[in-house]
Amino acid sequence: AQTVTQSQPEMSVQEAETVTLSCTYDTSESDYYLFWYKQPPSRQMILVIRQEAYKQQNATENRFSVNFQKAAKSFSLKISDSQLGDAAMYFCAYRSEGAQKLVFGQGTRLTINP
Amino acid sequence: NAGVMQNPRHLVRRRGQEARLRCSPMKGHSHVYWYRQLPEEGLKFMVYLQKENIIDESGMPKERFSAEFPKEGPSILRIQQVVRGDSAAYFCASSPRDNPREKLFFGSGTQLSVL
């Protein structure tokens, strides 16, 4: 079974600085998808970024980018120019090519200091 | 498009009562997924349904929990004889097709508190 591990329960960063959230996963599959979700206090799960395992190029969405290292099974999220609205829980998630369900990590609580 | 609607947002039940959680997927979405989030943890998959069919219930507890997605109306997650350990946030997500490339849209969840 696949597992997702986020080793940083909490992180903090100064506003306008850059922060990197770590995620590692375990799988024997070669085709899969990786995601980062943001969960603000409203509880709404918001998709931040997605990466297909067959793509070597790292995904980027505005201030958000990932460092996908397939051989190391690592999928970190970099947030540039941090803003107060980025404060939230961030979850890393895995989805197999042939499966419907997402496997989530434990989450990292990100605090932005003004 | 109103998004995935879950109600109630908060539900309080006493031990032994029944809890019914509702999820209306986005318009045009026929695939529904239920997840449970215990305090300070990530979401855990419970069940995946298409209209009138349960496709994958590998994450559902064997007893007291059931789910349905009828032809008409919302998807229902039903918990019978609730216990304190059932206290959690329950999330519903929907997609138009069963395809990993499709984006999943999540509701805001139902917070179940068992007294």
Per-residue pLDDT of chain B (115 residues; tens, 9 = 90+): 578 999 999 999 999 999 999 999 999 899 999 999 998 888 999 999 998 899 999 999 999 999 999 998 999 999 999 999 999 999 999 998 777 677 889 999 999 999 9
Structure confidence at residue B104 (pLDDT): 87
Considering CB atoms only, which of B42, B45, B109 is closest to A105? B42
Residue range A37-46: average pLDDT? 92
Structure confidence at residue B6 (pLDDT): 96
Pairwise CA distance, residues A89 & A97, whole Å? 26
Confirm if B60 and B42 have CB atoms less than 8 A apart.
no
Start-to-end CA span in chain B (Å) = 36
Beta partners for residue B106, in sequence order: B93
Contact B106 A44 (CB under 8 A): yes
Considering CB atoms only, which of B42, B59, B111 is closest to A91? B42
Residues 81-110 of A with CB under 8 A from B: 91, 93, 95-97, 99-107
User: Cβ of A43 under 8 Å from any chain B Cβ?
Assistant: yes
Structure confidence at residue B39 (pLDDT): 85
Pairwise CA distance, residues B27 & A74, whole Å? 36
Average pLDDT of chain A, as a whole number: 94
How far are the Cα atoms of A34, A45, A88, B57 from residue B37, in angstroms, in the given order?
A: 19, 12, 16, 16
Judge whether residue A102 has pLDDT over 90.
yes
Residue range A50-58: average pLDDT? 92
Structure confidence at residue B1 (pLDDT): 56
Pairwise CA distance, residues B93 & B77, whole Å? 13
Q: Which residue of A has its CA nearest to B9?
A: A43
Secondary structure class of A81 (helix, strand, coil): coil
Helices (runs of H) and strands (runs of E) counted in chain A: 0, 12
Q: Which residue of A has its CA nearest to B55?
A: A100
Considering CB atoms only, which of B31, B42, B58 is closest to A106? B42
How far are the Cα atoms of A103, B65, B88 from residue A106, in angstroms, in the given order?
A: 10, 24, 15
Q: What is the pLDDT of residues A16-32, one digit of tens each?
A: 999 999 999 999 999 99
Strands (E), chain B: 5-7, 10-13, 19-24, 31-37, 43-50, 53-56, 65-68, 75-79, 88-95, 105-106, 110-114
**DSSP state for residue A50 in the 8-state scheme:** E
